[in-house]
């Protein structure tokens, strides 16, 4: 699946690049390819939403985020004031595939295909999809790095379900990936932290929680300091459920909860996490059918852009 870049070749250099509303809508206009030689980061779509408990539609999240990201390419990236692609070789790998008539097999397909990408040496940032897809993504990453600290932005703890429930007949839905990850040993709960939580679950599985109201009462700086104190030097994975944001900033999601972070608050926190050792990440639960003017998709694209900016900044620093 190799497609040419949207950038003009030397033979047609008189032609300008396409405007933001035209051309192939890969993530930030990166080259579509499955040739991973020399690639630093692969953007991978995971259009799966068969495990939601409320509104479906996140299967269209990867398309929406790619479309919204087109406006981000071509300028020095805020707030880094630099082109991340001058330091990082980033490609759009396309989407993970499975038999849509066998949704129970999707997680195994995600694990296997993303594992192949990671085996190339590239990091993966995934575009979901509902939050259940984070479990096989973590399985693939932990196979290389061992148990991971997760930095988890969400309105929900995602620790629901019967303890020990796994295997055939026990569905890993979008509210269970943390519990499954801790039980499977792919999440290190003692190094993991959740930000923006605005619901109560039966258990916390040992993760630290920064409640949604604490962002208002204690401030952004306190949240950042708690993230660093918790994660330390551990290998970390970012998982960003877009419903961490208040519905005013992310209406296009399946389980919106009032009282959330603004997009600015979330991006400011993320911008200051450059000292963490991220091995990958995802943004999930963008459901564009409930969106207005691509508000939610734009926020999702900005999360990925900011994470790429952090990775490029590390590379520039050597």
- Closest listed residue to residue 152, CA positions, set 283, 64, 308, 314: 283
Tokens standing for residue 160: 């629901």
Check the annotation: does 154 bind a ligand.
yes
User: What is d(CA 227, CA 282) in angstroms, rounded to the nearest whole number?
Assistant: 18
What radius of gyration, in Å, describes the C-alpha atoms of the chain?
18
User: What is d(CA 24, CA 1) in angstroms, rounded to the nearest whole number?
Assistant: 13
Check the annotation: does 75 bind a ligand.
no
User: What is d(CA 45, CA 58) in angstroms, rounded to the nearest whole number?
Assistant: 11
Going by the DSSP 8-state scheme, the letter that residue 124 receives in this structure is E
User: What is d(CA 37, CA 174) in angstroms, rounded to the nearest whole number?
Assistant: 33
Check the annotation: does 145 bind a ligand.
no
User: What is d(CA 244, CA 241) in angstroms, rounded to the nearest whole number?
Assistant: 6
Whether 90 contacts 125, CB under 8 Å: no
Cα angle 212, 218, 221 (rounded to 5 degrees) comes to 100
Check the annotation: does 158 bind a ligand.
yes
Check the annotation: does 131 bind a ligand.
yes
Helix (H, G, I), strand (E, B) or coil at 155: coil
Tokens standing for residue 241: 């459920």
Going by the DSSP 8-state scheme, the letter that residue 32 receives in this structure is B
Check the annotation: does 156 bind a ligand.
yes
Residue ranges of the annotated binding site are 131, 154, 156, 158, 241, 243
Residue ranges of the annotated binding site for Mn(2+) are 131, 154, 156, 158, 241, 243
């Amino acid at each position: 699946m190799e497609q040419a870049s949207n950038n003009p070749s030397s033979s047609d250099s008189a032609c300008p690049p396409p405007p933001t509303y035209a051309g192939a809508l890969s993530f930030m206009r990166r080259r579509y390819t499955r040739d991973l030689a020399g690639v630093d980061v692969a953007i991978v779509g995971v259009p799966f939403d068969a495990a939601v408990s409320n509104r479906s539609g996140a299967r269209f999240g990867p398309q929406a985020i790619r479309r919204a990201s087109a406006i981000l390419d071509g300028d020095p990236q805020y707030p880094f004031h630099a082109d991340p692609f001058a330091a990082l070789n980033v490609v759009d790998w396309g989407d993970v595939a499975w038999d849509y008539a066998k949704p129970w097999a999707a997680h195994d397909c995600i694990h296997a295909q993303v594992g192949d990408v990671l085996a190339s040496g590239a990091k993966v940032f995934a575009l979901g999809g509902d939050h259940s897809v984070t479990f096989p993504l973590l399985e693939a990453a932990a196979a290389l790095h061992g148990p991971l600290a997760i930095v988890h932005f969400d309105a929900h703890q995602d620790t629901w379900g019967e303890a020990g429930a796994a295997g055939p007949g026990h569905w890993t839905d979008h509210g269970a990936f943390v519990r499954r990850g801790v039980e499977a040993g792919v999440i290190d709960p003692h190094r993991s932290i959740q930000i923006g939580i605005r619901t109560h679950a039966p258990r916390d599985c040992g993760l630290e929680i920064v409640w949604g109201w604490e962002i208002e009462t204690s401030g952004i700086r306190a949240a950042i300091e708690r993230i660093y104190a918790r994660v330390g030097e551990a290998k970390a994975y970012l998982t960003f459920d877009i419903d961490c944001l208040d519905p005013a900033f992310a209406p296009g999601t399946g389980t919106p909860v009032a009282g959330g972070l603004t997009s600015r608050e979330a991006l400011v926190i993320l911008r200051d996490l450059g000292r963490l050792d991220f091995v990958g990440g995802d943004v999930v639960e963008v459901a564009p059918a409930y969106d207005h003017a691509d508000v939610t998709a734009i926020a999702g694209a900005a999360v990925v852009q900011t994470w790429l900016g952090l990775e490029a900044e590390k590379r520039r620093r050597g």
